[in-house]
Amino acid sequence: MKIAIKNPFVITAITLLLFLGILKLPLDTLIDNFDLSSQQSSNSNKLVKNLVILILALFVIKKLKIVELSGLSQQMKLQNKFLILIPFYLVIIGVFSLLGTDLSSISTIDFILLSLTMLSVGFVEEFIFRGILQSVFLKKYAHRKNGILIGIFLPAALFGALHLLNLKMSNIPASIGQVVYAFFIGVAFGAILLKTNKVIPLAIIHGLINTVFSINTLLNDSAVAGEIEQQDIGQAIGSMLVVLPLFIVGLCIIRKINIGSIQEKIVLSSKIKHL
């Protein structure tokens, strides 16, 4: 089976519709048959849906012949390993933000389930936005002037815009702040992927970031993991400033990306038959 669609905008529209459609599937009634807390039910719901999305994402990456660009090729060696550690500072900040918080009431099973769910979110978002969308835009525009910027910025902007789904009129500063720093993260992760050739380490770090900033939700059974907390304008700006250095580093990395390396991955993707 071949996927004949080549227009990156059409692929993007179809991918996001499938992605959002799966997230909206009514699995709640099925999961509610188990004796779970609201937190456990919510996380189980997300985990199952994310696993389905991951399977579909891997299938699409293979059929679109973008395995090398997506960072999932065994043919491409891991390079510039130190770059993978740069976003890890956000994990450290998240850990420090928990200092002084009493986490003793959190059960082991709740923590494990939250961690698996947030890790799956990291994998889904990296596979969709960097693995698929960034790859198809690069395949289309990399040879043009500023093609690398287009290939990285468009998926990152979509990644940020998707967070508008979390927009709440009572929490506008936090919602807008999340859109901006999601864009910053998208640009940096996209650039790092192209320099390291591997998406899985980035997906793991993405999942760890999600986890440490969601642990507080386990202290409130009615809270939802991944939901942004109420913030005023100052706090929202602070959140953006925390991620700004990562964005700046991403821009510096983009300047070092060799167009030849991207063209090589495109050629390899078309020649190698992946099992």
210, 198, 229, 28: which is closest to 125 by C-alpha? 210
Matching residue, tokens 């859109």: 179
pLDDT over 90 at 271, yes or no: no
Share of residues in the chain with pLDDT > 70 (%): 90
pLDDT at 169: 59
pLDDT over 70 at 69, yes or no: yes
Model confidence at 202, in pLDDT bands (50, 70, 90)? Answer: very high
The answer as to whether 1 is a domain residue is: no
pLDDT over 80 at 171, yes or no: no
The answer as to whether 149 is a domain residue is: yes
pLDDT at 71: 96
pLDDT over 50 at 179, yes or no: yes
Q: List, for residues 84-117, the tens digit of each pLDDT value.
A: 999 999 999 999 999 989 999 999 999 999 999 9
Q: List, for residues 121-134, the tens digit of each pLDDT value.
A: 999 999 999 999 99
Which of 167 and 196 is assigned the larger pLDDT?
196
pLDDT over 60 at 135, yes or no: yes
The answer as to whether 191 is a domain residue is: yes
pLDDT over 70 at 224, yes or no: no
How far is the C-alpha of 119 from the C-alpha of 239, rounded, in Å?
21
pLDDT at 143: 86
pLDDT over 90 at 38, yes or no: no
Which range of residues forms the domain containing residue 123? 8-271
pLDDT over 90 at 203, yes or no: yes
The answer as to whether 98 is a domain residue is: yes
The answer as to whether 130 is a domain residue is: yes
The answer as to whether 106 is a domain residue is: yes
pLDDT over 90 at 53, yes or no: yes
The answer as to whether 2 is a domain residue is: no
pLDDT over 80 at 263, yes or no: yes
How large is the average pLDDT for residues 237-257?
Answer: 95
pLDDT over 60 at 161, yes or no: yes
What is the domain count for the chain? 1
Share of residues in the chain with pLDDT > 90 (%): 67
Average pLDDT over all residues of the chain = 89
pLDDT over 70 at 275, yes or no: no
The answer as to whether 63 is a domain residue is: yes
pLDDT over 60 at 3, yes or no: no
pLDDT over 70 at 160, yes or no: yes
Model confidence at 37, in pLDDT bands (50, 70, 90)? Answer: confident
